[in-house]
Structure 1
Amino acid sequence: MSRFVLAIDTATPAVTAGVVRCDESGDEVLAERVTVDARAHAEQLTPNIVGALSDAGLAADRLDAVVVGCGPGPFTGLRVGMATAAAFGHALGIAVRGVCSLDAIAAGTTGDVLVVTDARRREVYWGRYRDGVRVDGPAVNAATDVPAGAGAVAGSPEHAALFELPRLAPVYPSAAGLVAAVADWDVEPQPLVPLYLRRPDAKPPAAPR
């Protein structure tokens, strides 16, 4: 029996939406729309979802699940993707599963791989993987403080270049990677929890003395 999954991610500059069919023979990406613009998450996500559904020839009410990247990433980007995923799940009465966005980039890689994305402030979000399975992280550090030991690096090209390692192709979370990052479809999905990994910049005003 086929399962139709809407996969979305806004944890990086890529605003990703895709439709994936999952069955006993494997996963097939039916359609995917990606817009790379760090300032257009809110504007581009819904059009990309609508476009991907149209490209796949699938009505929204035929979706069986939603998978969303939960970061690590900046507050605004994560909020857009996760709120949209939750809204689709509520409206359609289907499960919403959150996954680590770094896991989606690492999906399908082999060997010891470091995945990095932009954390701003001259830092990177990172995770280490062995054959696509996370063995360390996610965490946020300056590139010089990321533990050594990986044999290759994937993720943000600008930040992957900070490491003297062979570069792998995955740059942003893909629809296929997001679906592959779901550990067990038979387990009840947990509440969505964003991976900010650092305190928000905005702070409540101090109480008057």
Structure 2
Amino acid sequence: MLLLAVDTATPAVTAALHDGASVVAESSRTDARRHGELLLPAVDRVLAAAGVKLDAVTGIVVGVGPGPYTGLRVGLVTAATFGSVLGVPVYGLCTLDGLAHASGIEGPFVVATDARRKEVYWARYDGARTRVTEPAVDRPAEIAEQVAGFPAVGAGALLYPGTFPDARAPEHVSAGSLAALAAEKLARGDEDGFLPVTPLYLRRPDAQVPKNYKVVTPQ
């Protein structure tokens, strides 16, 4: 097994290789505006670090979000293209699950990432591998009662200490944690635990068609 994992649902542009036992190479860079520019070089770096070619990969893992529209689709399109070219399966995972897995927290906690517009993408967990709510997008003040008393991980938690007073690392997801989670699922035959390789946006994109725009008719 050699899994190539990528995620662009947060400001972290991240790629990793996992051999079924451990992460053998990983590259992450935080830049919310350059996902398309940075992802393929990150993949090249992890392949070079591991000393393998792309055709050695047996499966692709990709974070499907939730995340902002533009950044998220970069990772998904890249993963789907690699899967098609190589003829290997593509496994979708919730990006929040990758953060939860990396946290190593055993008791109940919350994952919250920055959704912009003064909102967070979030979900509750009962341990690092068990999500107990569906991913959602809300203003922090609106979910204060639901998350009160729980530790929280992710950039969204760090941005809003009033709602998440016990905020912890990691701030952003790593492809290594997504790959490790996928490897665990595959090892126990849990292929139903993967998500469709489609973007989990949770809301409409920021770009909108202008209303009441001027219509120009031919003379």
What is the TM-score normalised by the length of structure 2?
A: 0.84
How big is the shift at 1:202?
A: 3.3
Match of 1:102 among 87, 96, 105: 96
How big is the shift at 1:204?
A: 4.8
Indicate the structure with greater strand content.
Answer: 1
Distance change in 2, residues 1:100/1:46 (3 Å): same
Q: Is the 8 A contact 2:93 2:195 kept in 1?
A: no
Over the residues paired in the alignment, what is the CA RMSD in angstroms?
Answer: 2.1
Q: Is the 8 A contact 2:110 2:152 kept in 1?
A: yes
Structure of greater Rg: 2
Q: Is the 8 A contact 1:20 1:30 kept in 2?
A: yes
Equivalence for 2:123: 127
Between the aligned residues of both structures, percent identity stands at 44
Cα-to-partner distance string for 1:134-182 (whole Å, 9 max, x where unaligned): 1113000000112224521100164253434323322211123212443
Q: Is the 8 A contact 2:113 2:121 kept in 1?
A: yes
Unaligned runs of 5+ in 1: none
Q: Is the 8 A contact 1:112 1:150 kept in 2?
A: no
Q: Name the SS of the counterpart of 2:91 in structure 1.
A: strand
Distance in 2, Cα, partners of 1:196 & 1:105: 17
Q: Is the 8 A contact 1:125 1:140 kept in 2?
A: yes
Bigger Cα displacement from structure 2, 189-198 vs 6-15: 189-198
Distance in 2, Cα, partners of 1:60 & 1:198: 34
Matched, 1:154 2:153: yes
Indicate the structure with greater helix content.
Answer: 2
Q: Which amino acid aligns with 2:2?
A: F
Matched, 1:58 2:37: no
> When the two structures are aligned, how many residues end up with a matched partner?
202
Distance change in 2, residues 1:164/1:82 (3 Å): closer
